[in-house]
A and B are shown apart, each in its own frame.
Chain A
């Protein structure tokens, strides 16, 4: 039986409160888990107990998400550069010298930025539907591309539907063969936090800034080629946003990339946490 407990912390980074959950031995190799939209470190609640006997696991909430501060957009620039700054601040505050990153969705462009900035610190990268290639982007991105190309109020307001309760559930259920595996508290809690006053506005800002991630893809590829970090993709192959081609594409730049597919959707950890957790453990053990 698992005896490692999880603890929940809030620290100040640049006058903003950053929440994170932590588990595992302090002296064990560290894994930093970075969440996606529209969730939080809550998405790792079932993975952490599978890793915390062998690893120290740290999972922060990005600014605007979960229980980290979500300042009004008039007082905070919601860009992926800026979200990354606060995760970097947490890494510095905790004094993390070497760690693996596990990235998903929004966590991917944040994590890859961190890797580019701290190549000496990164021991491995695990990407769960954490895209870095054009070919990984599905047609589901078309409404966002439209807003990137024509940043009008109309195109912005059209994206509000992306944060609706219906859309959030759709994100969790699309591609899922057995819906009884999806815990209702996943999408309901996400929606509860998305529905906080003003949260939609910061989400729309991040939808806009997602273009900066696509623009950085070549920079990420350069980093992959130059540093060849050990890399594992664990990918729900029915993700409506990030296509399997995006997982395969890592092999272009990472000669030893391991790519594993799972018969599920975007939130692969909701349905396949045991299998994915086992895949991650095997991968990480092979590094030592």
Chain B
């Protein structure tokens, strides 16, 4: 019974302590779960419980997030490229053979970057509320656009509220089917992490770097079209960051991708982890 418990571990990658959640037995098919703002690997806690009998699940916190090291931005460049290198090295350090990847939010740009460098690394892709298309940008991303094109004191004011409790609630509650189904501990836990000293600068640096994701979108689209990856899309359709139009755009270019849409927010797992776990079970058994 014990071996099915979730474990909270750390490993050393690129000179940094990387925290990760681990569940299931190493011999089972592996799934790497990637998420950034606002709640890092804790976003996957319930899903890992749902899937731990059948899979080996590993969810790291990126540098600057959750319980991983928070190097000073003078020492560590908080860019999606850099995070993707650290995550790639983390996957190698854990010797995960041909894992599936579950990418949510910031996990998407990191996954696309790794996939383009290492096309054979991932056995398949589960994408949730992440994006690679202009039409997949929701109102909250449009609100942040002036910051992405020109970072200054004025435009910072547009995005700083994302790091407050109200901003965090945009991810959890905005568009949720039933707000009473969402544990307030989850968004207060996110608030705790984002309230720590140095977090403002780290998160603002990384958010500003999202402009480099926008610049990479055409490359990722090309990769999707040419490789037709094995892909499952699970989506909270009312997400104010990456609404269901983001999933539909992917499906247009990867017609074989299976799409399941849920009437909820960005963090669809909060309300629908059981149904999404079922989607994953069926997808990976085929």
Contacts and interface: CB of A to CB of B under 8 A. Distances in A.
B67 A184 contact: yes
Interface stretch (B96-104, B117-125, B126-134, B181-189): B181-189
A8 B5 contact: no
Interface in A13-30: 19, 21
A146 interface: no
Nearest to A189: B189
Nearest to B9: A180
A8 B182 contact: yes
Contact of A185 (B49, B189, B277): B189
Interface string B38-59: 0000100100011000000000
Nearest to A21: B183
Interface string B262-286: 0000000000001001100000000
Contacts of B7: 180-181
A183 B181 contact: no
A184 B1 contact: no
B25 to A, nearest CB: 15
Contacts of B185: 40, 42, 45, 66-67, 185, 189
5 shortest interchain CB distances as A-B pairs: A192-B192, A180-B7, A274-B1, A42-B185, A7-B180
Contacts of B5: 181, 271, 273-274
Interface residues of A, number: 31
A249 to B, nearest CB: 29
Contacts of A21: 183
B274 A3 contact: yes
A45 B274 contact: no
Contacts of B180: 7-9
A66 B186 CA distance: 12
29 contacts: A1-B277, A1-B278, A3-B274, A5-B181, A7-B178, A8-B180, A9-B180, A21-B183, A42-B183, A42-B185, A45-B183, A49-B49, A66-B185, A67-B184, A67-B188, A180-B7, A181-B8, A182-B8, A183-B6, A184-B19, A184-B67, A185-B42, A185-B185, A188-B189, A188-B192, A189-B192, A192-B188, A273-B5, A278-B1
B34 to A, nearest CB: 18
A271 B7 CA distance: 10
A120 interface: no
A193 B47 CA distance: 26
A180 B274 contact: no
A40 B178 CA distance: 22
B199 interface: no
A184 B8 contact: yes
A189 B188 contact: yes
A155 B26 CA distance: 52
B138 to A, nearest CB: 26
A161 interface: no
